[in-house]
Amino acid sequence: MNIGRTPGPLDRESNARPFIEMTARPYPMSCMAQPELLETFPNPSPGRDYEITLLCSEFTSLCPIGGVETDAAELSQLKGGAPDFGVLTITYVPDAVCIELKSLKLYLWSYRNDGIFYERAVNRILEDLSVCAKPRWMRVTGDFNVRGGIKSVITASVGVRRDA
């Protein structure tokens, strides 16, 4: 899928630079939540319960409600409002497969350009990851930066956690 055009190498005969269609991303810039980007690999120890914790310290999305900040005119160019930043902690007990990290990174990046409430983001991420990996148990926690003097920490889980 095309995301833009960039000048290509110099054509020696015409002394011009033709444009090359860029296809660096498998999804349009404005699309959010691309679960088809998620990949898995076989669990190397499927007979054992063990936890995997993934700490994603650079989660970014947009506030879905613009217009409350003093520079709201500038924010109107965004699909949502101002950027929101947070730390996602994904903890799970894998069953047959584990989540491949590069694909997780690309999936999380797909949230950057559209507005979404914290609660919806955390629950959507949990849903997409649990459908993809089918873990025995999974928890996603979004620890979001302070906005308007209020800090939000959202936690959602699926499955039954067996304590050792």
Q: Which of 11, 56, 63, 114 is catalytic?
A: 63
Find the helix or strand (DSSP H, E) in which 83 lies.
Answer: strand 83-93
Per the annotation, the verdict on 84 as an active-site residue is: yes
Q: How far apart are CA 30 and CA 114, in angstroms?
A: 7
Catalytic residue among 31, 84, 114, 132: 84
Q: Euclidean distance between the first and final Cα of the chain, in Å?
A: 47
Q: Is 132 a catalytic residue?
A: no
Active-site residue set? 63, 84
